[in-house]
Amino acid sequence: MTSPVVQVERQPSGVAVVTLDRPRVHNSFNTAMAAELLVVARELSNDEETGAVVVAGAGGKAFCAGADIAEFGALDTPDEFYAFISHLGRAVEAISELPQPVIAAVEGIAFGGGCELAMACDFRTASERTKFGLPEVKLGLLPGLGGTQRAIRLLPPSVALELLVTGEPLDAQTAHRLGFCLEPVEAGGALNDAIEYASRLCAGPRQAIAAAKQLVRDGRRFDMATALELEKKVGRSLFGSPDGIEGVAAFLQKRPAQFGSG
């Protein structure tokens, strides 16, 4: 029986740490990893005990080096390659669609599909040695897991295009300056930084945080009038929620709010 290539650790704070566990090949993204990520995402999406998710890479040298070239290089036809990237893409989308905020803890390289997975997360922590890149053009290919579209939404279009057409990476400091990741920490510290950030979110009003993610994600799909109406409906539902009631009461009583865990 093969060993799992995705590990999940649930912490008492409500943070679930999802670890890509193929360190010998820099956590490269293959069909087995995609299948396991789909299962994990399905479980986490229905887990009321989990308030935030951290995605990390095992080994400390790479978050994820990208799609497994040894696997897709053995494919014979464009249709087979399409099926391969579609399968991996579904896993990336499943992580993106989680109701909880998701933080990518990027230590070392996040290239190709690894960068695309990091972009699908809501936040990215990084260390001083982190590099983000979309080098597929050097293989005569382009990103196929959402990279071309997420890059232009997360970066200035000219920077996104440069990443795509040159394949050259962004260092962590440049990525931070462009708003792509949180402020880099010392080498080896990206995971702890992500867990600390996720723990703070878990201690907050989880329903409101999940609603904020929904509004940011879904609002871009609608015209302004529709999006504004959605915002008001969400606000109405939060006002009568336990956390909404507690937050207002705590403010009026001049005390710290004690939010629930679900």
pLDDT number for residue 261? 60
| Confidence tier at 139 by pLDDT (50, 70, 90) | very high
In the numeric block, which tokens belong to residue 87? 């399968």
Residue 179 clears pLDDT 70, i.e. is over it: yes
Mean residue pLDDT across the chain: 95
Handedness of CA 176, 186, 134, 42 (dihedral sign): negative
The H-or-E segment that residue 63 falls in is strand 62-64
CATH number of 6-202: 3.90.226.10
pLDDT in tens, 76-124: 999 999 999 999 999 999 999 999 999 999 999 999 999 999 999 999 9
pLDDT in tens, 162-174: 999 999 999 999 9
CA 32, CA 93: separation in Å to the nearest integer? 16
pLDDT in tens, 180-229: 999 999 999 999 999 999 999 999 999 999 999 999 998 888 999 999 99
**Active-site residue 128, yes or no?**
no
Q: What percent of the chain has pLDDT over 70?
A: 98
Torsion angle, alpha carbons of 139, 91, 191, 103, to 10: 110
Residue carrying structure tokens 């490269």: 28
Whether the CB-CB separation of 243 and 260 falls below 8 Å is answered with yes
Q: Of these residues, 97, 136, 196, 229, which one is catalytic?
A: 136
Residue 1 clears pLDDT 60, i.e. is over it: no
Burial of 103 (0-12, 13-18, 19+ CB in 10 A): buried
Q: Of these residues, 43, 116, 128, 246, which one is catalytic?
A: 116
pLDDT in tens, 55-76: 999 999 999 999 999 999 999 9
Residue 125 clears pLDDT 80, i.e. is over it: yes
**Active-site residue 116, yes or no?**
yes
pLDDT in tens, 21-54: 999 999 999 999 999 999 999 999 999 999 999 9
In the numeric block, which tokens belong to residue 55? 């995605």
pTM score, whole prediction: 0.95
Cα 194–Cα 180–Cα 105 angle in degrees, nearest 5 = 20
Whether the CB-CB separation of 85 and 144 falls below 8 Å is answered with yes
Burial of 87 (0-12, 13-18, 19+ CB in 10 A): middle
